[in-house]
Structure 1
Amino acid sequence: MANHFAAVLEPEIVRYGKMDPQYIELWAPEIETPKGYAILIHGGYWRAMWDATLMHPLVRDLLARGWAVANIEYRSVGNGGGWPLTLDDVRSAIQCAKDARPQWCANCPVVNVGHSVGGQLALLVADLADAVVGLAPVTDVRRVDAEELDDNAASGFMGGHYADLSDAYDLASPIRQMPLERPILVVHGDVDVWVPVEHSEDFVKAAVAAGDLVDFQKIPGLDHMAAIDPAAAHWQHTVQWMQQR
């Protein structure tokens, strides 16, 4: 990790709504023009027991590399969220993060970086960024429902199963919303049991068929949570890809 840039110790908290989870942590490196503006979106299978602190290791790493960071919190199942409110929050949060720092957006790339269901959300709002990184992303909510992943997390988020809410499930699934018309990097470990790597393999095939520019890294031995570990083998390449956008 290139750690020659010092970073501020505490973020600025910016609110984009009145509910408790509707806030952004804005972090700035101590350089006038950051190398990029990373919009981090955490996962947790849409459940409120997980929050934005999951992304703090990536925050610290990106700051040390000279990146500015917006780390997004949003309403989840258990604190007022669910479909489509969670997506509405993320869209509002990203727009707020961009409006709060227009100079960063004007002078460097804006990259959505989402993990797990954060990857789903990052892909669904790809139009707000210059590029998207999906780290073990959920790309097909219908498949999450069919495979009953994480104790039927999809039905809890969507408010029912695919059989009864097919249109909503399609809207919530990046694989049903292509082309996304932004460069995409998908990183997924081959031992991931929370979101099987086959989900990403099928998403990448569909994205290429739709004409999207997609890079895919299938990482041997990488599990689901290690996808947000900056010490893991994939991260250096991920940041290099981000900087090339």
Structure 2
Amino acid sequence: MLYQVTDWDDAYANGLHIPRGDDFPAQWEAAATTFRATARREDLGRGDLFLPDTTPKGLAVFIHGGFWMKTSPATWSHLAAGPLAQGWAVAMPAYTLAPKARISQMTREIAAAISLAAERIPGPLAITGHSAGGHLAARMICDDSTLPDTVAARVACCLPISPLSDLRPMMRTAMNDTLAIDGAEAAAESPALLTPRPDIPVTAWVGAMERPEFIRQARLLADIWAGLGAATDCVIEPGLHHFDIIDALTRPDSPLTRTLLA
């Protein structure tokens, strides 16, 4: 069957295609507020570092989405619950949003925040993120010194959720009036156009009910990086869409959480 996108804005419009999609932001905020009320939390400069009750087994990193233009770590705090229950510390870094920053600056800010958190928490690193955060999660393990070698050597897993791995389609959307991605930045900041560091397992994770473009982008990352020698997988989870695919991170025994921490 032929696949062709004729409306690029609709291709990446999640809320319009999810029943009661407008209800999700309030649900996330409420869950995050409840979680933060009792969590052990340290300031990460910009963002949060959540700590388990015992000595951390390692450091999990969650990078938030919002098409690089919206939300903050505080909206997603509850997603630390699953890794925390497994005994891992969880860093949720912030980054400057567009139009105040270009995506290349966001990449540098996230790398710096992960390096800071890694100084506080020893052991393995597991990096994940959702949507635009999935892009940044994958971007962290590209073989271009984005992360310092000593930090990258500790990365045991990269799990981009619904990642935007090729930025070139974003240039065709109205969002680019704010993002200002050009050809040079797309080439330099698209994980699918870059080489991954060796020996880091990568699992792209996406919901089967997501917009076709998000499924294509997830497959693209796994397929291209497999061709460059990385150990990759692409999980297309049945029945889930862009707004509920991340809920599994709240559960310590979910396949998503177990894969991240494996």
Common fold by TM > 0.5: yes
Instruction: From the superposition, tell whether residues 179 and 85 of structure 1 become closer, same or farther in structure 2 (CA, over 3 Å).
Output: closer
Is the Cα–Cα contact under 8 Å of residues 190 and 221 in structure 1 kept in the other structure? Answer: yes
**After the TM superposition, which residues 101-180 of structure 1 pair with which residues of structure 2 at under 5 Å, given as runs?**
101=120, 104-105=121-122, 108-126=123-141, 127=147, 128=152, 129-146=155-172, 148=173, 152-154=174-176, 156-157=178-179, 159-160=180-181, 165-180=182-197
Q: What is the total number of aligned residue pairs between the two structures? A: 214
RMSD: 2.4
Instruction: From the superposition, tell whether residues 223 and 234 of structure 1 become closer, same or farther in structure 2 (CA, over 3 Å).
Output: farther
Counterpart position of 2:117: 97
**After the TM superposition, which residues 1-245 of structure 1 pair with which residues of structure 2 at under 5 Å, given as runs?**
9-15=39-45, 23-32=46-55, 34-47=56-69, 49-78=70-99, 80-99=100-119, 101=120, 104-105=121-122, 108-126=123-141, 127=147, 128=152, 129-146=155-172, 148=173, 152-154=174-176, 156-157=178-179, 159-160=180-181, 165-181=182-198, 182-193=200-211, 195-230=213-248, 236-244=254-262
Is the Cα–Cα contact under 8 Å of residues 40 and 51 in structure 2 kept in the other structure? Answer: no
Q: Secondary structure at the match of 1:186?
A: strand
Q: Secondary structure at the match of 2:175?
A: helix
CA distance in structure 2 between the partners assigned to 1:55 and 1:38 by the alignment = 14
Structure 1 position 131, deviation (Å): 2.0
Q: Unpaired runs of 5+ in structure 1?
A: 1-6, 16-22
CA distance in structure 2 between the partners assigned to 1:186 and 1:211 by the alignment = 15
Is the Cα–Cα contact under 8 Å of residues 189 and 223 in structure 1 kept in the other structure? Answer: yes
Instruction: From the superposition, tell whether residues 132 and 86 of structure 1 become closer, same or farther in structure 2 (CA, over 3 Å).
Output: same
Structure 1 position 92, deviation (Å): 1.1
Q: Unpaired runs of 5+ in structure 2?
A: 1-36, 142-146
- TM-score of the pair, normalised by structure 2: 0.74
Amino acid at match of 1:43: G
Instruction: From the superposition, tell whether residues 234 and 198 of structure 1 become closer, same or farther in structure 2 (CA, over 3 Å).
Output: farther
Is the Cα–Cα contact under 8 Å of residues 162 and 207 in structure 2 kept in the other structure? Answer: yes
Is the Cα–Cα contact under 8 Å of residues 44 and 117 in structure 1 kept in the other structure? Answer: yes
Q: Which has the higher contact order (CA 8 A, sep 6+)?
A: 2
CA distance in structure 2 between the partners assigned to 1:42 and 1:194 by the alignment = 21
Instruction: From the superposition, tell whether residues 87 and 154 of structure 1 become closer, same or farther in structure 2 (CA, over 3 Å).
Output: farther
Instruction: From the superposition, tell whether residues 61 and 241 of structure 1 become closer, same or farther in structure 2 (CA, over 3 Å).
Output: closer
Q: Secondary structure at the match of 2:254?
A: helix
